[in-house]
Structure 1
Amino acid sequence: MKQIIFIFMALLLATGAANAQAVISTENANFDFGEVKEADGKVEHAFVIKNTGDQPLVITRVIPSCGCTTPDWTKEPIAAGKTGTIKITFDPANRPGPFTKTISVYSNGKTGSFILTIRGEVK
């Protein structure tokens, strides 16, 4: 039995399958809303996330740095070479002035988090 496991592991290493993984990426991890009028209400932006790896990418959680920011994301696995979205909604109510918010994205594609950033100024 040990010989079979050893042979299987050797085959995985030889074929590169042991190094196969999902890789999370985006063309632009930052978005500037510019001036946002508080009276106009919530604004949103959808980040396009691409899996540049060779295994399915699974976004496990998305955590904004502030309660004024709400995420919604692709829940199903993103196949290699395909894209998904992370939509961020910012509520400017009672938040006058400049803002910068970070959104931590956790997945099987990177140890730790992948950071997205939104910014702007509430008028």
Structure 2
Amino acid sequence: MTTEPKVTQFANPAEWRDSKRYLWPLPVLLAGIPLLGWWLYARTGNEWTLWLSPIFFYVLIPIIEMAFGEDNSNPPKEAIPFLRDDPFYRWSAFAALPASYLVWIIGAWYVAVMDLSWSAYLAVTVANG
């Protein structure tokens, strides 16, 4: 017996509401995690703080994904044009790009001006990727 995801049909696809709408700006905030680690290193000199971003993205996020499982609450295909035209979703997605470039530029500057050990250099490089 297979269980198919429940698809609700709407008379008007614009009626579909995204229950996770508030999470869409999150990638912009998550781009700040490497910056937090680099700032903490500059303030404390503790090299482990440079590994905050790699640990968060390569260890913690996969553990969270395994704990919560697959998300089956995708919008119906008919609602996608309405979501695509919604300025909130558009600007949430577009804002992540400048945030990523900013982290990349600051990371390059950080490697150039800070006196880093090979493991600290590796941490900043991985976090910047």
Shorter-chain TM-score bucket reads: under 0.3
Instruction: With a CA cutoff of 8 Å and minimum separation of 6, indicate the structure with the bigger relative contact order.
Output: 2
Structure with the largest fraction of strand: 1
Q: TM-score, normalised by structure 2?
A: 0.25
Structure with the largest fraction of helix: 2
Q: TM-score, normalised by structure 1?
A: 0.25
